[in-house]
């Protein structure tokens, strides 16, 4: 039997042990809670971003997006209107896409994205927003060039749209529905080449793709599986029951336009001075068509180049500089290959006979 003094001693010892044990438990618990994430078990850490993918995951599409994605930007344009007192008022903003194609800060986009604005805001893929200046625009081709002042820009490599074949992959990168969805990627194929969707106004054939293109994608990149820009997304058919009909300006057609916009701020086009229709349009509007090909002359500009020749209304132009002309698009494409002041030969048929005239092209004024 223990004495009271011995009982008191054991109670004190037990109390001290409990205090020590409690202190140690509190210390380890506090250290566990405050320990940096790097020191916690690996299984509890969030996975780190993988910079190197396996061969299975690192597909050509992934590589193409990594190459071009950082060069795709968002372009915001302020939209103004006039109130009842004829005052200019801000009514909203439009958002589109663009592609950096030159290290000096040149960006290609659609003319309908920038509208009549001379200044826009450009959001880069890294989140920076910079002021941009519209250095040139061309309504006829729906192309425009914007310039920003920035260093270390990612520049997209331009490809060769003439080498495309139907069925090969096509990747659209842009900002559908606004900057909240910037950098969105959709994938499809090249559905068709040389498409005409508006023969009266379209300057050159377009690429057709089923990669999803939505409002805000305009001006963005259509990319090959090699990671090169092959087109500039411009329009989609947006009708009930229609899906997967998007169109892009072939990059080969865009190149000379971009060069002209950077150099002159506009496109200086050769002018023949003729109003004409092709066979399809003639049949639609009831004109009598006797020739197998060519474009039918309706009217000649009295101040234009053709006014100094023997070509007259009801004649049919069949070739320019040896290049056959069967449609209005053909005629535009041929003339776009020349500059004001160039001399060309125009082959035409008049009352069943063939003739040739030499013509010095003027500059078109719009």
Q: Locate the domains of the chain by residue range.
A: 4-44, 161-252, 270-363
What is the average pLDDT value for the chain, to the nearest integer?
A: 82
Residue 39 has pLDDT above 50, yes or no: no
Task: Please report the DSSP string for 210-270 in residue order.
Answer: -S---TT-TT-EEE-TTS-EEEEEEEE---TT--S-EEEEEHHHHHHHHHHHHHHSS---E
How confident is residue 132, by pLDDT bands cut at 50, 70 and 90? very high
Q: How many CA atoms lie within 13 A of 17 on its CB side?
A: 6
Catalytic (active site) residue 225: no
How confident is residue 237, by pLDDT bands cut at 50, 70 and 90? confident
pLDDT, average across residues 74-93: 70
How confident is residue 2, by pLDDT bands cut at 50, 70 and 90? very low
Alpha-carbon distance of 225 to 230, in angstroms, equals 10
Residue 1 has pLDDT above 50, yes or no: no
Q: What is the pLDDT of residue 43?
A: 45
User: 71, 99 in Cβ contact below 8 A?
Assistant: yes
Catalytic (active site) residue 264: no
Alpha-carbon distance of 171 to 222, in angstroms, equals 5
Residue 82 parent element (H or E): strand 72-82
Q: What is the pLDDT of residue 204?
A: 79
List 94, 97, 142, 210, catalytic entry = 142
How confident is residue 34, by pLDDT bands cut at 50, 70 and 90? very low
10 Å CB burial of residue 340 (0-12, 13-18, 19+) is middle
**pLDDT tens digits, one per residue of 108-123:** 999 999 988 888 999 9
Q: How far apart are the first and last CA of the chain?
A: 118
List 94, 112, 191, 315, catalytic entry = 112
How confident is residue 85, by pLDDT bands cut at 50, 70 and 90? low
Catalytic (active site) residue 218: yes
pLDDT, average across residues 145-172: 93
User: 246, 195 in Cβ contact below 8 A?
Assistant: no
**pLDDT tens digits, one per residue of 241-295:** 667 788 999 999 999 999 999 999 988 888 899 998 887 777 777 777 777 788 9
List helix spans (H) across the chain.
4-34, 60-68, 111-114, 251-264, 279-285, 328-336
Q: What is the pLDDT of residue 79?
A: 64
DSSP state of 54: -
Q: What is the pLDDT of residue 67?
A: 93
Among 166, 253, 158, 248, residue whose Cα is nearest residue 204: 253
List 97, 218, 224, 253, catalytic entry = 218
- CATH class as words, domain 161-252: mainly beta
Strand-pairing partners, residue 133, are 119, 147
**Cβ-based neighbour number of residue 120 at 10 Å:** 27
pLDDT, average across residues 52-72: 88
Higher per-residue confidence, 278 vs 230:
230
Higher per-residue confidence, 136 vs 90:
136
DSSP state of 67: H
Burial 274-284 (b: 16+ CB within 10 A, else e): bebbbbebbee
Map residue 182 onto helix, strand or coil.
Answer: coil
Task: Please report the DSSP string for 286-325 in residue order.
Answer: T----SSSSEEEEEE-TTSGGGGSS--TT-EEEEETTEE-
Higher per-residue confidence, 104 vs 79:
104
Q: Which of 19-23, 24-28, 85-89 has the highest mean pLDDT?
A: 85-89
* Residue range 270-363, CATH number: 2.30.42.10
Q: What is the pLDDT of residue 283?
A: 75
pLDDT, average across residues 127-149: 93
Alpha-carbon distance of 331 to 334, in angstroms, equals 5
Residue 44 has pLDDT above 50, yes or no: no
How many residues does this entry show for the chain? 366
Residue 33 has pLDDT above 50, yes or no: no
Q: What is the pLDDT of residue 345?
A: 93
């Amino acid at each position: 039997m223990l004495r009271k003094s011995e009982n008191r001693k054991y109670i004190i010892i037990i109390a001290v042990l409990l205090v020590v044990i409690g202190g140690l438990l509190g210390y380890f618990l506090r250290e566990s809670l405050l320990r940096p994430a790097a020191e916690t078990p690996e299984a509890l850490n969030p996975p780190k971003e993988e910079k190197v993918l396996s061969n299975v995951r690192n597909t050509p599409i992934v590589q193409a997006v990594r190459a071009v994605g950082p060069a795709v930007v968002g372009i915001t344009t302020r939209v103004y209107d006039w109130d009842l007192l004829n005052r200019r008022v801000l009514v909203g903003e439009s958002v589109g896409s663009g592609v950096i194609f030159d290290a000096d800060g040149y960006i290609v986009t659609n003319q309908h994205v920038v509208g009549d604005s001379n200044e826009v805001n450009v959001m880069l893929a890294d989140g920076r927003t910079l002021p941009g200046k519209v250095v040139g625009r061309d309504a006829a081709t729906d192309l425009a060039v914007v310039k920003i002042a920035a260093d270390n820009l990612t520049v997209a490599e331009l490809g060769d749209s003439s080498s495309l074949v139907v069925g090969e992959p096509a990747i659209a990168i842009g900002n559908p529905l606004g900057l909240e969805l910037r950098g969105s990627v959709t994938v499809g194929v090249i559905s068709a080449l040389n498409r005409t969707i508006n023969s009266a106004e379209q300057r050159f054939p377009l690429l057709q793709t089923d990669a999803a293109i939505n409002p805000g994608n305009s001006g963005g990149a259509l990319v090959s599986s090699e990671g090169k820009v092959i087109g500039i997304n411009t329009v989609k058919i947006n009708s009930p029951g229609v899906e997967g009909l998007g169109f892009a300006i072939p990059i080969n057609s865009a190149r000379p336009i971009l060069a002209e916009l950077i150099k002159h701020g506009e496109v200086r086009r050769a002018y023949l001075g003729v109003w004409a229709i092709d066979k399809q349009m003639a049949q639609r509007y009831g004109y009598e068509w006797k020739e197998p090909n060519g474009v039918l002359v309706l009217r000649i500009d009295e101040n234009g180049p053709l006014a100094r020749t023997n070509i007259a209304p009801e004649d049919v132009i069949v070739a320019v500089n040896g290049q056959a002309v069967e449609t209005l698009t053909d005629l535009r494409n041929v003339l776009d290959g020349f500059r004001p002041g160039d001399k060309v030969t125009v082959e035409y048929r008049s009352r069943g006979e063939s003739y040739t005239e030499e013509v010095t092209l003027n500059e078109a004024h719009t």
